[in-house]
Structure 1
Amino acid sequence: MLANELLRLEGSSLLGAPCSYCTEEPGLFRCLECHPERLSCKTCVLASHAALPFHRVEKWENKHFTALPLVDIEAVYHLSHDNTRCPHWKAPDPPAPPTYTPNPDAPADDRPKKRPRRPQTSAADGHIVRIAHTNGFHHVRIGYCRCPNAPDHATQLLRARIFPGTLSKPRTAYTIALLSYFLTSTWESNLTAYDYAKILCRLTHSYCPEDIKSGYDNFRVVLRVWRDLQFRMRCGAFFDIPARLPPPYTNTMAVLCPGCPHPGINYDPAVKHRKIHCDTLTLAGDGNFRAVQKDKISDPADVHLRPGAAYFREDKAYHEYLASVGDEHEVSHLQPSTCTGLKAGDVLREGRYKNTKVSGVFSVICARHGFFRPDATVDLQKGERYSHTDYALAGALAGTQSIRRIVFIYDINCQYIRHVHERFKERFPHLTHIEFIEWLIPKMHLVGHKEDCQYLYSLNFTPGSGRVDGEQTERNWCDLNGAATSTREMNSAHRHEVMEDKQNEMNFKKMINLRTLCNIQRLAILLTQISCLCQRRPFKGRWVLL
């Protein structure tokens, strides 16, 4: 039964019947997007698709349906005047066909072998633009508005929700629906631009996709611009919202954690809460060695569209810092480990990162809610060094001097803090509150440390820590590593932009889901209250009502 019905879809039961709309001409056309079972004539197809240029139309000929682009039946997509022809669009009269009188006395080589092609008539006037939509590529004849005050062609395309491939005389464009769909697919399934371009070719011609030009070079440039525009729109940069934030968040485009204290935004140093955890900023840092970058020839013209305005620290200043620190800064403090064999921070492991320009990334996040901190992600060179951690932590600590209590969770804190005060005093003298930070180790990593560390750096034995495990960085790497297979091949600036876009989306999703998380926690407290009442034992905590 299923096979019979699928085979039935290849034809139509209305073949030979008149048009389903006007009933005057035979119905030979069908639209796979509108009503595949209804057949119509050419006139009705053009009338019903005046504002639907991206539909797939088929024509019945030679006892089967064949794909027929709308441009081949002289369809014009007018961008103004309610999808009708602009009054100022006056097509010139077609020139008369050239006449040819053969001269019998002329040599055979001087005689034209073919008659000149007749020029296109006025009915086919317009600009043909190759537009990519979610169902493939389309050649669409665009009818621009030609009024005296009409905007340029690129602006008219944008107002029709079509993103031009170029701002001057666009001949390639992409629908906003396609760009939005690709960006969502990248966030959720790490779809690459190259793979999606091949998908569009297959959707355009399922049998010979290799004959379709994907336009990948222009597509990835447009995607990069589109990604940056969406990034700026989400943070309100076009309304100068980041400029109104207090330092150090001025002009930042990152999504801030709404549950952590931010001086000048949701935290007042003059107001002290009764419970210390309400005035605590809990940070966690960790290195990710999957997010590498291959050592290859990069494009010298590649520039970052928002340097230092999101999650990665400004690249030029960071490399100047690394040059000033040098390897001797690491070796001077290289002493035998006082704990069991810890791999992080071991400069002797740099041999495993051959043929890589960047061996990974180091990020500082909010340990309670898992938000990436703005200006707190750096690239790693030759493994995970203390200098990398220092620079990322310094970015995360900017503007936190007035916070009452700060906790930093790191898997090798027992070794990292041995000279951290001296390093910060030398490199970041403005961060004087480094001396008051509490240093702890994540719960899962703490098991691999010696017994003394398991008491000194335990979250379980630290007041105000709650049930924080400090392993949120590992969960973030699980989501971020999906894009590592594509970012490792990119240039440095493009790689930072893609990874920042992924980090920003992860922060945004966490912010949206905080409400659900709070409701779940309130429900758990309510169930605990009910259990205590049933067992006639006191409840130690704050009573809440849902």
Structure 2
Amino acid sequence: MRLYCGDCTVYDHLRCPTHRIKEWTGSFFIATSLKKLGLRIQLGHTTGESCILPHKSFNDNFVLIDTNGIHEMVVDFCGCETSQTHTKQLLCMGWFPSTTVDPRTAATFQLLHCYKILSFESKASTYEFYHSLVCISDNVVPLIQDRYESFMCMVREWQHLKMLKHFGRGHDPVGVSGTKEGECAVLCPACPQPGKNLPPDWKEAPKAKQWLYSLFVAIDANFRLKRQNISSDEVDPSLSEGWSYFMEEKKFKSHLKEHLSETQEKSSCLNHNAMNMAETKLSQGLAATGLGTRPNGVGDLQKGEKYINMDYLFFSTLHNSHLDVLNVSYDISLSESYHISYLCLFIRFFVPNFHLPAHINKCQTLFSFNFARFVGRTDGEAPERGWFNINLVASSMKAMGPGCRRDTLDNHFGD
């Protein structure tokens, strides 16, 4: 807690430019900043060195967002002949720029990682987190420069790049643009994956053992993850084109458009409203009334849990499957009008135990896990436990644009 003169304080903070400084007036301490004391951060050189051709940031002002608040500072970019771009100079400092053209704002890697973990664990929204930083900064920042929109962009880009990094996309010879649909999704370690966790001769297993290599497909929908009719895919596109959990949006919407005029038959064997509410007025003003999900096959629901949406999600998850036995769990089971090659696959349909009492007695017998062989003791309700964890982000999802919503949910599903 020693006191230092202004020059010593500046020198000592060349490596710690985001420390919050107070100045003694003779009677009390007042908040000041390293910028006011004359600190200039030189990028592209060793700490303490100066550049002979420094390029000042726009208006000689730069905003850095860190875990201890929002800081105004003076940054000089290196202008030497061998210098890197301004973006790379910031990245070498561990600062993530808000734009690649004339960056004036950045967030530290530490802050972006901190928010990523916090959002997964507490489901705190970007708005809440940013304004917590404003409070830490003595609520002065909004009066100077509001960087909330820039922060939202940095968070989204950071999480997208981290996803690509975790799946090694930068090292693939075809590059990031060659990423295939679903390639950045975390696969379930318990699901049978040929070439990964199955013996080489699994196809030759005797009939008594073939059930060990069956795929359990659980399908479900969530009607809390609504989205208002805000923005569009043209204005707010997703950064990944079906690379993670959400499917490729253009093909999905094209499929729905082809069958838009079809009226869905009312269900006669269950009391759930998921299907029968599909044509009600509850969806007015909403671009999405909920979300249907399967690994590598997440998509929006427009009017209740319509077969046309759910079956597209279901089949999109199976096009890369090489297994011969499927156990399908769905709380309302599937329509009989969809095309699966029954000559190649052995498929059984089940209704999860919690949803089963809503069906007629015949369904409760035919589609019960309790009366089926080779499925173990399971209730089929695993998706519900996943929804319980994700429901906490519903309020912040509702007002997001379509691309931002998909990217944010992709990150939460990955966690």
Structure 1 position 153 matched with structure 2 position 86: yes
Kindly indicate whether residue 221 of structure 2 is the aligned counterpart of residue 311 of structure 1: no
Q: In structure 2, what is the equivalent of residue 404 of structure 1?
A: 324
Residues 250-296 of structure 1: CA distance to partner in whole angstroms, max 9, x if unpaired?
Answer: 77111111221123443445342763442011111111101111124
Measured in 1, the distance between the counterparts of 2:62 and 2:182 equals 38
1:443-491 deviation per Cα after TM superposition (whole angstroms, max 9, x unaligned): 1112333333222211122222222211111111111112111111111
Q: Is 1:350 aligned with 2:280? A: yes
Distance in 2, matches of 1:437 and 1:243, equals: 37
Distance in 2 (alpha carbons) for counterparts of 1:300 and 1:130: 30
Aligned with 1:71: secondary structure? coil
Contact 1:86 1:146 in 2 (8 A): no
Give a deviation string over 1:50-69, Cα, whole Å, max 9, x none. 21100011111040011120
* Partner residue in 1 for 2:304: 383
- CA distance in 2 between counterparts of 1:276 and 1:251 reads 27
Find the aligned partners of 1:340 and 1:306 in 2 and give their Cα distance.
38
> Which residue of the partner structure matches residue 41 of structure 1?
5
CA distance in 2, matches of 1:51, 1:336: 67
Q: How far apart, in 1, do the equivalents of 2:388 and 2:73 lie?
A: 42
State the SS of the aligned residue for 1:186: helix
Instruction: Please report how far the alpha carbon of residue 233 of structure 1 lies from its aligned counterpart in structure 2 after TM superposition.
Output: 1.1
Q: Which residue of 2 aligns with 1:392?
A: 313
Q: How far is 1:38 from its partner?
A: 2.0
5 Å-filtered alignment, 1:107-146, equals: 127-146=60-79
Secondary structure in 1 aligned to 2:23? strand
Displacement of 1:344 after TM fit? 2.4
The verdict on how the C-alpha distance between 1:275 and 1:319 changes in structure 2, with shifts beyond 3 A counting, is: same
Residue aligned with 2:215, SS: strand
| 1:448 paired residue number | 358
SS at match of 2:84: coil
- Among 392, 397, 409, the alignment partner of 1:499 is 409
* Gap change, CA 1:144 and 1:212, over 3 Å in 2: closer
Which residue does the alignment assign to 2:47? 83
- Given the alignment of the two structures, is residue 239 of structure 1 paired with residue 171 of structure 2, yes or no? yes
Query: Which structure 1 residue ranges, 5 or more long, are not aligned?
Result: 1-36, 92-121, 365-372, 426-430, 506-546
What are the equivalent positions in structure 2 for 1:141-290 lying under 5 Å apart? 141-206=74-139, 210-240=142-172, 252-267=183-198, 268=200, 269-272=202-205, 275-290=209-224
Structure 1, residues 488-523: CA drift from partner, whole Å, max 9, x if none? 111112211111111111xxxxxxxxxxxxxxxxxx
Q: Which structure has the bigger radius of gyration? A: 1
Deviation at 1:197, TM superposition (A): 2.2
Aligned equivalent of 1:323, options 251, 257, 266: 257
Structure 2 CA distance, aligned partners of 1:278 and 1:479?
29
- How much does 1:317 deviate? 1.0
- Give ranges in structure 2 of 5+ residues lacking alignment: none
- Asked if the contact 1:205–1:212 (Cα under 8 Å) also holds between the matched residues in 2, the reply is no
Please report how far the alpha carbon of residue 386 of structure 1 lies from its aligned counterpart in structure 2 after TM superposition.
Answer: 1.0
**Aligned mates of 2:346, 2:126 — CA distance in 1:** 47
In structure 2, the CA distance between the partners of 1:249 and 1:70, relative to structure 1 (3 Å rule), is closer
User: SS in structure 1 opposite 2:29?
Assistant: strand
Aligned to 2:292: 362
1:434: how far off? 8.2
Distance 1:180 1:233 in 2: 14
Judged with a 3 Å threshold, the aligned counterparts in structure 2 of structure 1 residues 335 and 66 are, in CA distance, closer, same or farther, namely closer
Residue-by-residue CA offset, 1:32-81 (whole Å, 9 max, x unaligned) = xxxxx222222322222121100011111040011120111112223354
Between the aligned partners of 1:227 and 1:45, the Cα distance in structure 2 is 35
CA distance in 2, matches of 1:88, 1:182: 37
| Residue pair 2:220, 2:292 contacting (<8 A) in 1 also | yes
Partner of 1:523 in structure 2? none
In 1, Cα distance between equivalents of 2:309 and 2:382: 20
**Equivalent pairs: percent with the same residue?**
28
Q: Name the CA shift for 1:174/1:87 in 2 (closer, same or farther; >3 Å).
A: closer
Secondary structure of the residue aligned to 2:390 is helix
Q: Please say if residues 85 and 143 of structure 1, whose CA atoms lie closer than 8 Å, have aligned partners that are also in contact.
A: no
Residues 382 and 225 (structure 1), Cα distance of their counterparts in 2 relative to 1, 3 Å cut:
same
Question: Which of 417, 423, 436 is the matching residue for 2:338?
Answer: 423
TM-score (norm. length: structure 2): 0.90
Contact 2:44 2:83 in 1 (8 A): no
Structure 2: which amino acid aligns with 1:387? I
Deviation at 1:209, TM superposition (A): 5.9
CA–CA separation in structure 1 for the residues paired with 2:351 and 2:174: 34
Equivalent residues of 2:326, 2:345 under 8 A apart: no
Instruction: Please say if residues 270 and 332 of structure 2, whose CA atoms lie closer than 8 Å, have aligned partners that are also in contact.
Output: no
Contact 1:291 1:488 in 2 (8 A): yes
